[in-house]
């Protein structure tokens, strides 16, 4: 009964995506790093710029970041992608477009286009409410 009440509340909050033949949410953990794990994002300026580029590319493709963490040598986060999009396609959009935007603003430094990546689903014991950022993202 508690599970049913939680589902009804989530429908009312529009957390689930609804289509003709599906209802659900597609949460994925993304992680990728610059080429050779170069510590590109040590500088605050680059860290904030790449975060803005990733958020802009996500917005353009209908991807919603729940959690985004930019470290000096890698980027990781949890995102909700449209049910019609595969995780590999979402990662392709995020890496490609954010690298393009970053290179457009900083033409000398662009290690984002190459490097390793990892896609995973969040653990089952992690609730959506636990995935929120500690600060407001406008």
Q: Is residue 4 part of a domain?
A: no
The reported pLDDT for the residue numbered 16 is 77
Our count of domains for the chain comes to 1
**Lowest pLDDT segment from 31-45, 48-62, 121-135:** 121-135
Task: For residues 36 and 53, give the distance between their C-alpha atoms in angstroms, rounded to a whole number.
Answer: 21
Asked if 28 and 87 count as a contact pair (C-beta separation under 8 A), the reply is yes
Closest CA to 51 of 105, 114, 90, 89: 105
Range of the domain at 105: 24-131
Task: Assign 23 a pLDDT band (cuts: 50, 70, 90).
Answer: confident
CATH number for the domain spanning 120: value is: 3.30.70.1290
Locus of tokens 């040598």:
73
State pTM to two decimals.
Answer: 0.68
Q: Is residue 102 part of a domain?
A: yes
Q: Is residue 136 part of a domain?
A: no
Q: Is residue 60 part of a domain?
A: yes
Q: Percent of the chain beyond pLDDT 90?
A: 14
DSSP 101-134: HHHHH-TT----SSS-EEEEPPPTT--GGGG--S
């Amino acid at each position: 009964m508690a599970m049913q009440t939680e589902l009804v509340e989530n429908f009312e909050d529009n957390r689930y995506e609804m289509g003709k033949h599906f209802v659900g949410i597609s949460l994925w953990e993304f992680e990728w790093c610059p080429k050779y794990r170069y510590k590109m994002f040590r500088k605050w300026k680059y860290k904030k710029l790449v975060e803005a580029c990733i958020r802009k590319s996500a917005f353009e493709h209908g991807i919603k970041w729940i959690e985004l963490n930019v470290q000096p040598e890698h980027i990781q986060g949890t995102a909700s992608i449209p049910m019609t999009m595969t995780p590999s396609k979402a990662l392709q959009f995020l890496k490609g477009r954010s690298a393009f935007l970053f290179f457009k603003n900083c033409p000398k430094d662009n290690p984002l286009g190459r490097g390793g990546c990892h896609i995973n689903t969040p653990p089952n014991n992690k609730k959506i409410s636990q995935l929120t950022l500690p600060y407001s993202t406008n």
